[in-house]
Amino acid sequence: MDTPEFSARFRREIPDGDNRERMVCQDCGFIHYDNPRIVVGAVASLDGQILLCRRAIEPRTGYWTVPGGFMENNETAEEGAIRETLEETGASIEVRDLLGIYSLPHIGQVHLVYRARMLAPHIEVGPECVEARLFDVDELPMGNLAFPTNTWALEHFLEARGKDLIAPRTSPVRF
């Protein structure tokens, strides 16, 4: 089977009608838009305990994290958080509300983290994790978290305990 040759030449330039540099194909004029990626996750709790999982993959193998990952096409952010939690921990959750919107422009990501509750105590480790478990608040591994957004989300979750309505938080720093 013959494979067609691909020899497009891309160059960074500002396309007509735009105000930012983009990768533009010098052969056909195609513009490649490299925009932020959305990561979704959930701080899920059950009977006052918080669900975390320990990563089996890079980046940050072995560190604890809030269940989460990249949102997929054709799903809402809430559906993505539910799916990621199920994939990583086997836990079924119900999303309550948006806990935080964390902008990470230095890596082209926006993280949406939800406050959620586990529907049952069932936990089953998925392929991206080596461990998943519920933590009491006083035993959370705050010094062993994979990413700053995990710390921010857990801190915001703890501040919101007992509150029915909360305003989502944003990144406390700009990178």
The confidence score (pLDDT) of residue 1 equals 52
pTM of the shown model = 0.87
Q: Which residues of 18-34 are buried (b: 16+ CB within 10 A; e: fewer)?
A: eeeebebeeeeeeeeee
The confidence score (pLDDT) of residue 8 equals 75
Taking a C-beta distance cutoff of 8 angstroms, is the pair 116, 96 a contact? yes
Q: Can you give the pLDDT of all 175 residues of the chain as single tens digits?
A: 555 555 679 999 999 999 999 999 999 999 998 888 999 999 999 999 999 999 999 999 999 999 999 999 999 999 999 999 999 999 999 999 999 999 999 999 999 999 999 999 999 999 999 999 999 999 999 999 999 999 999 999 999 999 999 999 999 887 6
The arrangement of secondary structure in 1-34, i.e. its CATH architecture, is Single Sheet (2.20)
Taking a C-beta distance cutoff of 8 angstroms, is the pair 90, 126 a contact? yes
Domain ranges across the chain: 1-34, 37-170
The confidence score (pLDDT) of residue 161 equals 95
Taking a C-beta distance cutoff of 8 angstroms, is the pair 116, 43 a contact? yes
Residue with tokens 């939800």: 114
Q: Rounded to the nearest 5°, which phi and psi values hold at 39?
A: -105, 135
The confidence score (pLDDT) of residue 2 equals 55
The confidence score (pLDDT) of residue 35 equals 86
Topology of the domain comprising 37-170: Nucleoside Triphosphate Pyrophosphohydrolase (3.90.79)
